[in-house]
Structure 1
Amino acid sequence: MALKLVIIGGGSSYTPEIIEGIIQRQDTFPVNEIVLVDIEPGKHKLETIGYLGKRMIHQANANIKLSWTLNRKEALVNANFIATQIRVGGLKARAIDERIPLKHGFIGQETNGAGGIMKAFRTIPVLMEIAKDVQEICPDAWIINFTNPAGIVTEALLNYSRHEKVIGVCNIPFNTQHSTAELLNAKPEEVQIEFIGLNHFIFGKKILVDGENRTEEVFDRLINREANYTPANIMPLNWSRTFIQSTKLLPNPYHQYYFQTETVLQKDLHAYKENGTRAEVVQQLEESLFDLYQQPELNIKPKELEKRGGAFYSKVACSLMDSIYNNKNDIQTVNTHNHGTITDLPNDAVIEANCVITKGGPKPISIGKIPAPVKGMIQNMKAMEELTIQAALSGKYEDAYNAFVMNPLIQDEKKAKVLLDELLEAHKSFLPQFKL
């Protein structure tokens, strides 16, 4: 059987990890065609990744045809899976998302706060067009989205596009599971964490190792500073004994932005003055990665890729596609419709939750109510996400302003307007829906 994967954003530095994942799964997930797609400004990177991918496939002696193109519609013909990993405006746009909020005394981060909202504004219309093409050309294909902000983007596609086969993925649950396993001297596959919440805003309620409840042990080790499961793009900060003991929840690294805001802001301002924004640091890392990718003797995914903060997104995506194809009925943490999984959120809200993965897609495992200490925050975040989607689709200034004001990292009605106006002007070439 022919099995075709299309990678939109194929010129991304993460693509070698997807190709590696496909090669490693040839026995169970026999993809025999991969098409990389990008846009004209990314043509050089696309070609670089394409030639590296061919060398990787040749080195592995895998039966995979790899090609690349700037013609998205042509690439989608007969596709079974589509991985979306785009960055509208590139790292230059990300740098603006980080720099302008920092200048005004707010967190500057690509998926949280003002920067995250702006990324959604730029990204959602583009992915809506992609979903339209998928529905028309290959309606049975699954879109596996790991374009950030993944939860918001996935909800926009599921609720407002005609294509229903969309799943969002993130590397944070994967990283948390593996780091928790290391903490407990266990194998990652032995660890199961009951997650509750939203993308980049999930908490661990319960940690099981081979069915044994080890939650309190993990909390003790967190309190005693024995754990550090922070992605490369987030500076590690410790959690207080009081926070862990009171909430009785396992936080994820992004919670630092919301529960240690002033400390993170000061660290980010210091880092900005010393080394520039995180985006500017990543630009330098990207340049070195692509220099490495162009070396004709390189025929495997280089270890240096793991220095990128989003490393392992691709591993998560490959595992998900493998499980759908094989109807594995295993448990993975993905972004999908709530459908009553969390009783305190609407059915059509997209949550990040443990799901049984079937050939028909993810089936969320019932969670129940949100724990009282974080109920208000999660509901506030979901409401803000809905406002962000509304603004991205409507292009109305008032909708955008509402999203800014209600974002927990802004919530200042006067400064929100200053931030919004400056960011809309800076990004206007990528925001055609806003009549500026």
Structure 2
Amino acid sequence: MKLTVVGGGSTYTPELVDGFARLRDTLPVEELVLVDPAADRLELVGGLARRIFAKQGHGGRVVTTSDLDAAVDGADAVLLQLRVGGQAAREQDETWPLECGCVGQETTGAGGLAKALRTVPVVLDIAERVRRASPDAWIIDFTNPVGIVTRALLRDGHRAVGLCNVAIGLQRKFAALLGVAPADVHLDHVGLNHLTWETGVRLGGPGGEDVLPRLLAEHGDAVAADLRLPRPLLDRLGVVPSYYLRYYYAHDEVVDELRTKPSRAAEVAEMERRLLEMYGDPALDEKPALLAKRGGAYYSEAAVDLAAALLGGAGSPHQVVNTYNRGTLPFLPDDAVIEVPAAVSGEGAAPLPVPAVDPLYAGPMANVTAYEDLALDAALRGGRDRVFRALLAHPLVGQYAYAERLTDRLIAHNREHLAWA
């Protein structure tokens, strides 16, 4: 089996490689190809990847290259984890929205739109080259904003599934709080990427006992602390929102916080510098502890599980993924990309039935789906008016004066990445 990672020079990659090494019985990778245009980073990451495989007795071959076409030729699956513009662009995404009084974040709001505009054309070009070289390959998208990017891929007819680590992270936290194995916890996870709620926590499978009320009663303080939301709010909702919902439920509070501390991009850039120094140490043959602070926890387990199921292996039959709605949530279009539990097989991902969704959550989902429609249109066709319309539609922007100012700043800060600007 040949697996290709586009963006293989990312400091995330050793997390992924560690998963491939540990879970080789689930996903027997014979050739792992890391492709990245940044040759210096790629060699550091590739060297550590080979040492991790060797230490754990994995017989697979690790190949590094900057040649995308060669990298995807004959691949069974291609994982996308790229960041167009690097951390410098992320720093901008997190900064200029604050000048207008809006949340500065790289996956949602105005910053998320900027990332989508930079990313979608690049991803579609990569996907077309994958289709020419390996038409049966599955594309697993971990590139943010996952919902919009996955929708672009599916709209163009690619064999693609989107992946996020929010659900697996919550599954692991809940399992620890409940004192059970993670495999025994099934989430009633519903929403869009980075706009999700856990409406049930079931033991033993999709139809198992819902222990969410007990979880909140016994461990609500710990859950609320992780989310940085008030415990009384969780008690009133009776569900567990994704930590991204804090941008919506406490918008002004978050803006005030972000204005008074270094950006996350600056923190990550310093962390990446330190990680790359570590990766260059020939004695290092495991992922360093610092990598856990980089983000992407449990990404490797989720990616292995998904790839294995798509390729007919030992992956779990039910996984939380991003895929077409197809009537699952009747208040959204069929071609909306939703993030829900799905039956995953060699045929792709088919969403499992979802109980009726409370209007308190269905409303934001419909609103953000409309924004994603407009965002994808802006990413594919460009133009200031399309950018403005997408910003005006986003619930974290919403006001025309904000949308006007944000549009000007977005274009000014991203001109080099926008062919139409």
TM range (shorter): over 0.9
Does the CA contact (< 8 Å) of 1:196 and 1:205 recur in 2? yes
1:300 and 2:300 aligned: no
Please state how far the C-alpha of 1:409 moved relative to its aligned partner.
Answer: 0.8
Q: Which amino acid aligns with 1:129?
A: D
Mapped partners of 2:24, 2:184: distance in 1: 24
Please state how far the C-alpha of 1:123 moved relative to its aligned partner.
Answer: 0.3
- 1:116 is aligned to 112
- 1:189 is aligned to 183
Identity, % of aligned positions: 35
Q: Which amino acid aligns with 1:309?
A: G
- 1:422 is aligned to 409
- 2:5 is aligned to 7
- 1:237 is aligned to 228
1:17 and 2:15 aligned: yes
Structure 1: tracts of 5 or more residues without a match: 231-235
Does the CA contact (< 8 Å) of 2:97 and 2:406 recur in 1? yes
Does the CA contact (< 8 Å) of 1:76 and 1:138 recur in 2? yes
1:323 and 2:309 aligned: yes
Please give the per-residue CA displacement for 1:358-377, whole angstroms capped at 9, x wherever unaligned. Answer: 12121210115321212211
Bigger Cα displacement from structure 2, 328-337 vs 192-201: 328-337
- C-alpha change, 1:86 and 1:104, in structure 2 (3 Å) is same
1:55 and 2:51 aligned: yes
- 1:373 is aligned to 360
- 2:214 is aligned to 217
Mapped partners of 1:61, 1:177: distance in 2: 29
The match for 1:67 among 39, 42, 63 is 63
Mapped partners of 1:192, 1:267: distance in 2: 34
Please state how far the C-alpha of 1:197 moved relative to its aligned partner.
Answer: 0.6
1:287 and 2:273 aligned: yes
Mapped partners of 2:87, 2:316: distance in 1: 37
- C-alpha change, 1:385 and 1:410, in structure 2 (3 Å) is same
1:412 and 2:399 aligned: yes
Please state how far the C-alpha of 1:414 moved relative to its aligned partner.
Answer: 1.5
Please state how far the C-alpha of 1:324 moved relative to its aligned partner.
Answer: 2.3
Q: Which amino acid aligns with 1:269?
A: R
- C-alpha change, 1:17 and 1:385, in structure 2 (3 Å) is same
SS in 2 for 1:238: coil
- 1:203 is aligned to 197
Does the CA contact (< 8 Å) of 2:165 and 2:302 recur in 1? yes
SS in 2 for 1:427: helix
Please state how far the C-alpha of 1:329 moved relative to its aligned partner.
Answer: 5.5
1:248 and 2:246 aligned: no
Q: Which amino acid aligns with 1:415?
A: Y
Mapped partners of 2:295, 2:224: distance in 1: 15
Q: TM-score, normalised by structure 1?
A: 0.92
Does the CA contact (< 8 Å) of 1:344 and 1:369 recur in 2? no
Please state how far the C-alpha of 1:96 moved relative to its aligned partner.
Answer: 0.4
Mapped partners of 1:352, 1:323: distance in 2: 17
Q: TM-score, normalised by structure 2?
A: 0.96
Q: Which amino acid aligns with 1:237?
A: R
Equivalent residues in 2 for 1:118-133, closer than 5 Å = 118-133=114-129
Structure 2: tracts of 5 or more residues without a match: none
- 2:103 is aligned to 107
Does the CA contact (< 8 Å) of 2:87 and 2:269 recur in 1? yes
Bigger Cα displacement from structure 2, 314-323 vs 379-388: 314-323
- C-alpha change, 1:300 and 1:307, in structure 2 (3 Å) is same
- 1:233 is aligned to none
Does the CA contact (< 8 Å) of 1:10 and 1:46 recur in 2? yes
Bigger Cα displacement from structure 2, 251-260 vs 359-368: 359-368
Mapped partners of 1:361, 1:253: distance in 2: 28
